[in-house]
């Protein structure tokens, strides 16, 4: 109940989103994702059983605490024996740690036990090598009256925030990480609600192929199979429960409903190493962080999972759009791992966590998105706070209609919540190519949609580059990930997780070592002068003295400018660094595309190469009408 195929997860009549009432009860809105639809099991248990296992990661990465929750339905205390073992996932015979606890007193009701474990030789879970382990707990009640066994997969990893108030940054396993994500509304073919295992795997692979290191569960609770695949393949996740704002609603039933939903989400997902951040609500937070119900839900999440960061909201750290009103700019709040301090805005706008949305935008890359090292989109000098761009711009593009149409043609029995729309759209594009005589340029529908998609991918690549060259930025989320039925089609992929363009166009800009040539004009008049700045994005720790070589080729391929400079890479936590500013060139006597190339070398060894194209126009002699 309360489901919809639109994106809102809140009730605001001013936005045309009325509350949903079921009789006298107000229900939190959702994406139509209600009911029991996946991962359902029916199990028989004895009167004493293992309710939950929580593996608590620690800053000492190879140390953990295994927290075990048991439940005794009897009215009297019984004694039980516990056996705990840890082994690499899929290799139960290779025990790396074990512990036996005999004669444990199991009082009536819930029993919570904790056992520290240290595995000095454990392999860490990270994005390149997502090594997983399994903890197995076995229970035997003395006398053989009851027994149980439960397993949970986990990884040895630690994600944290350091330096708030001084030099705030994210760290994964003691190494700085800048988060590159996209917001996913959680829509899937064929049913719209949940993915097959193959589609979940396809999503993770697509994100990694683009060079992203994270995806967001946006305004909806995530699917377990997706988190499982991210654990296995090495991709981070940021999770919103959807409708989190109802946890401080005026209606008591809605408040209790949402609180229980969030509680169950935490208990279900807190062992996944890919999950790093909880966010209670996206944008629609118009109450103070000191609201007692806000403090209650924030505290609950922190208590249930003290190993992760939990933030109150995404946006608005600066003035929100006029349609929201000033009350939506009220302060952020957050908890950090193993820190019971309730961090919140101090009333001046400073909080320690800056999250601003720029969703919307020009839809195509323009010169005004980079003007100079001091003036470009998503630049910040805010070093003291975490700076996360929670929804970055947007550009609408059609889905990969040919791939989708081919799927339905080859699988006529397959259903799809938007199958009818996709087939009609494909047929309309196909008819358009004939009616407008475009077959010569675009032989098939896929050629046209990919051409449009490539323009959007170039746009996104350049925006990602802008964010990465600014060392004070800590993360960003493209708006958005997959297309939906009622949406602005800004997704990087369609609902089948097919690419909309050539993924290499984005992957070039997400390289761990990237040389960025930032010209202050990408369109230049003939015989004009061009100013160029050159940056390094250095996530590999390179800290050598290098030679930066730079050249320009005219449309005929002739080198018309060459120069080189000695530069020193800072390395360490400095990921974005300006290497050379104000390279002024005046070699543009021919109209057409000029190619700018830069290369970074240590001795004769090439470390990285970068490129740029500038279009020179001879508008004076072109006899324009």
pLDDT for 579-595, tens place per residue? 999 999 999 999 999 99
Where b means 16+ CB within 10 Å and e means fewer, 436-463 reads eeeeeebeebbebbbebbbbbbbbbbbb
CATH code, 159-399+437-510: 3.20.20.80
Given this model, what pLDDT does residue 5 score? 66
**Rounded to an integer, what distance in angstroms lies between the CA atom of residue 299 and that of residue 136?**
29
DSSP string, 401-444: HHHHHHHHHH-TT---TTHHHHHHHHHHHHHHHHHTT-TTT-SS
Mean pLDDT of 275-289: 92
Given this model, what pLDDT does residue 294 score? 96
**Rounded to an integer, what distance in angstroms lies between the CA atom of residue 450 and that of residue 441?**
12
pLDDT tens digits, one per residue of 197-236: 999 999 999 999 999 999 999 998 899 999 999 999 999 9
**Domain spanning 513-617: which superfamily?**
Macroglobulin (MG2) domain (2.60.40.1930)
**Rounded to an integer, what distance in angstroms lies between the CA atom of residue 62 and that of residue 155?**
10
**Rounded to an integer, what distance in angstroms lies between the CA atom of residue 558 and that of residue 463?**
30
Q: Matching CATH topology for 48-154 and 513-617?
A: yes
Residue 194 pLDDT class (50, 70, 90 cuts): confident
End-to-end CA distance of the chain: 60
Residue 39 has pLDDT above 90, yes or no: no
DSSP secondary-structure letter at 245?
G
- Name which of 64-73, 301-310, 329-338, 372-381 the model is least confident about: 329-338
Mean pLDDT of 483-507: 90
Given this model, what pLDDT does residue 50 score? 97
Mean pLDDT of 488-496: 88
Chain-centroid distance of CA 466 in Å reads 18
Q: Taking the C-alpha atoms of 604, 606, 610 and 613 in order, what is their torsion angle to the nearest 10 degrees?
A: 50
Residue 142 pLDDT class (50, 70, 90 cuts): confident
User: What percentage of the chain has pLDDT greater than the value 90?
Assistant: 81
pTM: 0.95
C-alpha closest to that of 256 among 293, 303, 219, 226? 293
Token pair, residue 274, equals: 């890919």
Query: Would you say 401 and 449 are in contact if contact means Cβ atoms under 8 Å apart?
Result: yes
Given this model, what pLDDT does residue 358 score? 94
In terms of pLDDT, which residue wins out, 246 or 485? 246
Residue 340 pLDDT class (50, 70, 90 cuts): very high
Given this model, what pLDDT does residue 488 score? 61
- Name which of 35-39, 437-441, 573-577 the model is least confident about: 35-39
Q: Across 459-575, where does the E strand assignment appear? A: 475-478, 513-519, 523-525, 530-538, 545-553, 559-568
Could you write out the three-class secondary structure of 475-486? EEEECCCECCCC
CATH code, 48-154: 2.60.40.10
Given this model, what pLDDT does residue 34 score? 57
Given this model, what pLDDT does residue 14 score? 62
Given this model, what pLDDT does residue 286 score? 84
CA distances to 253, 428, 495, 584 from 433, rounded to whole Å, are 54, 9, 24, 44
In terms of pLDDT, which residue wins out, 19 or 254? 254
- Omega of the bond leading into 322 within 30 degrees of 0 (cis): no
Residue 444 has pLDDT above 90, yes or no: yes
CA distances to 28, 172, 240, 253 from 178, rounded to whole Å, are 33, 10, 20, 39
Q: Which helix (H) or strand (E) holds 108?
A: none
pLDDT tens digits, one per residue of 505-527: 999 999 999 999 999 999 999 99
Query: Would you say 395 and 358 are in contact if contact means Cβ atoms under 8 Å apart?
Result: no
Task: Please calculate the CA angle 390-391-394 and round it to the nearest 5 degrees.
Answer: 160
**Rounded to an integer, what distance in angstroms lies between the CA atom of residue 153 and that of residue 437?**
57
Residue 185 has pLDDT above 60, yes or no: yes
Residue 7 pLDDT class (50, 70, 90 cuts): confident
User: What percentage of the chain has pLDDT greater than the value 70?
Assistant: 97
Look up tokens 């949903």; give the residue: 20
Domain boundaries, the chain: 48-154, 159-399+437-510, 513-617
């Amino acid at each position: 109940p309360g489901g919809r195929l639109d994106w809102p997860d809140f009730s605001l009549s001013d936005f045309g989103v009325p509350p949903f009432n079921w009789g006298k009860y107000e229900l939190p809105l959702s994406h139509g994702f209600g009911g029991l639809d996946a991962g359902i099991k029916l199990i028989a248990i004895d009167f004493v059983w293992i309710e939950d296992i929580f593996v608590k990661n620690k800053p000492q990465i190879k140390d953990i605490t295994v927290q075990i929750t048991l439940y005794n339905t009897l009215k009297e205390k019984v004694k039980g024996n516990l056996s705990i073992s840890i082994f690499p996932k899929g290799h139960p015979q290779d025990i790396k740690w074990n512990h036996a606890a005999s004669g444990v007193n199991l009082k009536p009701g819930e029993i919570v036990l904790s056992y520290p474990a240290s595995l000095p030789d454990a392999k860490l879970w990270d994005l390149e090598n997502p090594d997983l382990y399994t903890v197995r707990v076995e229970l035997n009640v003395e006398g053989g009256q009851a027994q149980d066994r439960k397993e949970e997969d986990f990884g040895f990893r630690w994600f944290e925030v350091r330096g708030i108030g001084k030099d705030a940054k994210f760290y994964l396993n003691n190494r700085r990480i800048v988060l590159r994500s996209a917001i996913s509304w959680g829509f899937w073919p064929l049913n719209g609600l949940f993915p097959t295992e193959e589609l979940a795997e396809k999503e993770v692979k697509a994100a990694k192929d683009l060079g992203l290191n994270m995806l967001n569960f946006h305004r909806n609770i995530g699917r377990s199979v997706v988190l499982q695949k991210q654990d296995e393949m090495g991709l981070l996740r940021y999770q919103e429960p959807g409708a989190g704002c109802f946890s401080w609603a005026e209606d008591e039933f809605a408040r209790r409903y949402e609180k229980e939903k969030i509680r169950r989400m935490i208990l279900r997902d807190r062992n996944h190493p890919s999950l790093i951040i909880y966010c209670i609500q996206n944008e629609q937070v118009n109450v103070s962080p000191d609201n007692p119900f806000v403090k209650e839900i924030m505290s609950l999440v922190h208590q249930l999972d003290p190993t992760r960061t939990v933030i109150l909201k995404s946006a608005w750290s600066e003035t929100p759009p006029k349609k929201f009103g000033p009350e939506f700019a009220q302060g952020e709040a957050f908890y950090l791992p193993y820190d019971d301090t309730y961090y919140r805005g101090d009333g001046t706008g400073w909080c320690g966590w800056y999250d601003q949305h720029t969703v919307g935008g020009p839809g195509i890359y323009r010169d005004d998105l980079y003007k100079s090292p001091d003036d470009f989109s998503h630049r910040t000098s805010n070093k003291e706070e975490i700076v996360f761009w929670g929804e970055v711009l947007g550009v609408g593009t059609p889905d990969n209609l040919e791939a989708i149409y081919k799927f339905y043609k080859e699988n006529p029995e397959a259903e799809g919540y938007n199958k009818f729309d996709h087939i009609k759209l494909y047929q309309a594009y196909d008819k358009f190519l004939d009616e407008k005589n475009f077959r010569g340029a675009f032989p098939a529908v896929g050629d046209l949609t990919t051409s449009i998609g490539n323009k959007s991918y170039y746009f996104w690549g350049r925006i990602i580059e802008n964010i990465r060259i600014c060392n004070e930025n800590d993360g960003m989320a493209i708006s958005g990930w997959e297309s939906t039925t009622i949406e602005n089609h800004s997704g990087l992929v369609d609902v089948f997780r097919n690419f909309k363009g050539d993924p290499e166009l984005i992957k070039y800009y997400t390289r761990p070592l990237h040389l960025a040539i930032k010209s202050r004009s990408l369109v230049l008049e003939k015989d004009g002068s061009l100013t160029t700045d050159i940056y390094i994005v250095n996530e590999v720790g390179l800290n050598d003295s290098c030679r930066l070589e730079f050249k320009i080729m005219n449309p005929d391929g002739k080198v018309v400018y060459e120069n080189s400079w000695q530069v020193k890479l800072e390395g360490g936590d400095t990921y974005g660094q300006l290497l050379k500013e104000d390279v002024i060139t005046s070699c543009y006597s021919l109209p057409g595309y000029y190619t700018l190339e830069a290369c970074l070398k240590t001795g004769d060894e090439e470390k990285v190469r970068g490129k740029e194209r500038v279009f020179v126009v001879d508008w004076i002699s072109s006899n324009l009408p």
